[in-house]
Amino acid sequence: MGKLLSYLFLFLILPSQLFSQFGSIEITFDDRLLRSDEKQNLMPLIEDIRRFFLTTSWDKGFSDLNIPIHIQLIFEGSSSKGNVKTYLCQALFTNGSDQRYFDKGVQFYYSASTSLYFDLVLFEPLSGFLAFYAQLILAGEIDTYEFRGGNTAYETARDIALRGSGSEYKKGWAARTTLVDDLSGNSGLRKARLAYYVGMDLMKEANVDEAVKEFKNMLDGLEQTYHDFGREQHTQYFMKVQSENLARVFSLLGRRDLLQDINELDPDRWELYQAALDKMSE
């Protein structure tokens, strides 16, 4: 009987994890400002969030991405209205690479007796908040496979944000609506990220000529973003995270022109690119 239950558990649980959009889920809480009873109430939340990300079917077209996600919640306090306990916090979401989103104002209620589930029609503040950032990270990831492939995920995130703005728990949702509009509308960054990852894959295949074409497309996208939005923070973060890879690959290619171009577009990493240029001159 024990083996039968184990097999049944594997049959029910493993498929959702084997074909999940999200892989490793790292969640940390900073709850130093909460009372002991509030901390106790939140103890099951970490596993609830992990289960929420792993078992929700986010996009049937991209079912095996296995994206790592890191979540930090910094609790600032709570309030009670009747039997409902509402928590206030700040949050950080990242894929451990070139996507990073910091949210300054989060408001949600939580009870360990209820499970989290994603429903686009029936808005719920905590699951809506988590689903919003899941969709943003998913959109950014799908964009590295297809040009503007993340459109559907961005539209879903926008729908969530609009429902949040019209709810009783509207704190932060106007800013999130602006965020998704900024990300989806940044065609230059979306072009650059796709070209970067395609270029890196082509380098692994030793297809140098096509890789160079993609890196030039990436630089064109970064320049477009600069002209459209100036020193936009998400583009700056992308360049920061990928800067060492770009300096190394452009050096291996012997392409001073690419190093000079990225040096102009990313002056914060001037020393890194200049060192690569100087080494090529030796």
What is the DSSP annotation of 176-203? Answer: HHHHHHHHHH-HHHHHHHHHHHHHHHHH
Most confident residue range from 16-20, 22-26, 188-192: 188-192
**More confident of the two residues 130 and 5:** 130
Note the pLDDT tens digit of each residue in 234-265. 999 999 999 999 999 999 999 999 999 999 99
Comparing 3-7, 159-163, 227-231, the range with the smallest average pLDDT is 3-7
Under 8 Å between Cβ of 108 and 129: yes
Same domain flag for 99 and 199: no
Same domain flag for 106 and 200: no
Question: Mean per-residue pLDDT for 117-140?
Answer: 95
What radius of gyration do the chain's Cα atoms show? 22
pTM reported for the whole predicted model: 0.91
Same domain flag for 141 and 56: yes
Q: Which domain holds residue 264?
A: 188-281
Identify residue 171 by its one-letter amino acid code. K
Same domain flag for 125 and 253: no
Comparing 55-69, 89-103, 232-246, 253-267, the range with the smallest average pLDDT is 55-69
Same domain flag for 181 and 194: no
Would you state the pLDDT for residue 4? 39
**Residue 4 included in any domain:** no
DSSP symbol at 145: T
Query: What domain count does the chain have?
Result: 2
100-109 and 84-94 beta bridge pairing: antiparallel
Same domain flag for 263 and 140: no
- 106 beta partners: 89
**Cα torsion through 244, 247, 251, 252, rounded to 10:** 40
Would you state the pLDDT for residue 62? 82
Q: Is the dihedral of CA 124, 126, 128, 131 positive or negative?
A: negative
**Residue 9 included in any domain:** no
**Residue 133 included in any domain:** yes
**Residue 231 included in any domain:** yes
Using the 3D structure, point to which of 163, 185, 207 is the last residue of a domain: 185
Same domain flag for 35 and 166: yes
Same domain flag for 112 and 210: no
Same domain flag for 158 and 45: yes
Using the 3D structure, point to which of 185, 215, 249 is the last residue of a domain: 185
Q: Residue 281 — pLDDT band, cuts 50, 70, 90?
A: confident
Question: Mean per-residue pLDDT for 95-100?
Answer: 96
- Listing from the earlier edge strand, what are the strands of the sheet with 22-30? 22-30, 67-81, 84-94, 100-109
Residue 14 has pLDDT above 60, yes or no: no
Same domain flag for 125 and 224: no
Identify residue 109 by its one-letter amino acid code. Y
